[in-house]
Amino acid sequence: MSGDCNTLPGALRLRFCGLDFASPIVLLSGCVGFGEEYTRIEGFSNRDAGAVVLKGTTLSSRLGNPPHRVYETPAGLLNAIGLQNPGAEHVVRRILPELDFSETRFIANVSGSTVEEYAQVTRLFDQSPIDAIEINISCPNVKEGGVAFGNYPDMSAQVVEACRRVTKKPLITKLSPNQTDIRENARRCIEAGTDGLSVINTVMGMAIDARTRRPVIGNIQGGLSGPAIKPIALLKVHQVYEVAKPHGVPIIGQGGITTATDAVEFLIAGAAAVGIGTALFYDPFVCKKVNEGIAEYLRGNALASVSELVGSLRTGRETQDAPVSG
């Protein structure tokens, strides 16, 4: 499906895991519901994004965590929603038929508490019109005492392998920054069959009410997003890019992107596309501004395509590695 997004400059177009994106912008999971979250806002359009990642979906419906589930912090946002969703069958049968696949690409976000559940949910989406599947490996593994799949390369690879066996759709694995070596995890996920990588998921944190001496978030801890994590995300994208580039595995870079300059920095670090999430909560029209800014940057630097920016970071090694003449 090529989509009907002819209003965006051609320089913004790219191919990601075999899919045509009209823009490098991806709307991140949990920030736009199941694609309809912002439709009530006059002037908002999914056409401003190359892809939309749907809310995290599990096999059975979930009510999520107790409140408070969202809390604003300096330069960031803590959230612990707890994967509230109506279940995979409901999403496939009731929600997907209501989406306009001519607007943009739609990517499912698969979550689970066991390897088997990941595979079951992936199989359901494989039999749907969804364009691609993102694997959220930051979920706790109930069979291993609640440790997160994404924090251990062996478990990450097991999930990717299980999902790969039941679908031919593009698989994108969302990597956690809350681990020892994100590069090793990326390598194992690539070997297990992932087609793309999302870098990064939220950074774990907490907030305390000094008056009551209690945690603000009902789940005690939550995921921190927003500008506060941007330097961390940029480094992780750069590190993963060095592993992914030889295999031709593209990256969706994310973490604190609020402006076109932020987006350009992630592209330079190695991201092929950029994810926007928290910024949507206070500026629903941020995507249009970011697209315009990226296009202006490309024109100002005589670049014909956004893809020419990807991985163009100048580290100084270029001069060191250059052949010496004479």
- Predicted local confidence at residue 2, as pLDDT: 38
Q: Which of 5, 139, 163, 287 is catalytic?
A: 139
Q: Would you call 285 helix, strand, or coil by DSSP? A: coil
- Measured between alpha carbons, how far is residue 315 from residues 33, 235, 265, 307, 321 in Å? 39, 13, 13, 19, 11
**pLDDT score of 43:** 82
Fold of 10-64+83-208+224-313: TIM Barrel (3.20.20)
For residue 278, the number of C-alpha atoms closer than 13 Å in the C-beta half-sphere is: 25
Confidence of residue 318 (pLDDT cuts 50, 70, 90): low
| Positive or negative torsion for Cα 249, 253, 254, 260 | negative
SS3 70: strand
Specify the residue for token string 């994108």. 172
Q: What is the DSSP letter of 202?
A: P
Bridge partner list, 25: 274
Residue 31 bears catalytic tag: no
Per-residue pLDDT tens digits for 8-18: 899 999 999 99
Joined together, the tokens standing for residue 36 give: 């309809």
Give the integer Cα–Cα distance in Å for 31 and 281.
Answer: 8
Residues contacting 112, CB < 8 A, separation 6+: 58, 59, 118, 120, 121, 139, 159
Residue 158 has pLDDT above 90, yes or no: yes
Angle at 163 between CA 158 and CA 167, to 5 degrees: 155
Count, residues in the chain: 326
- Mind listing the pLDDT tens digit for each residue in 259-306? 999 999 999 999 999 999 999 999 999 999 999 999 999 999 999 999
pTM for this model (two decimals): 0.94
% of the chain surpassing 70 pLDDT: 95
Condensed to tens digits (0 to 9), the pLDDT of residues 219-248 reads 999 999 999 999 999 999 999 999 999 999
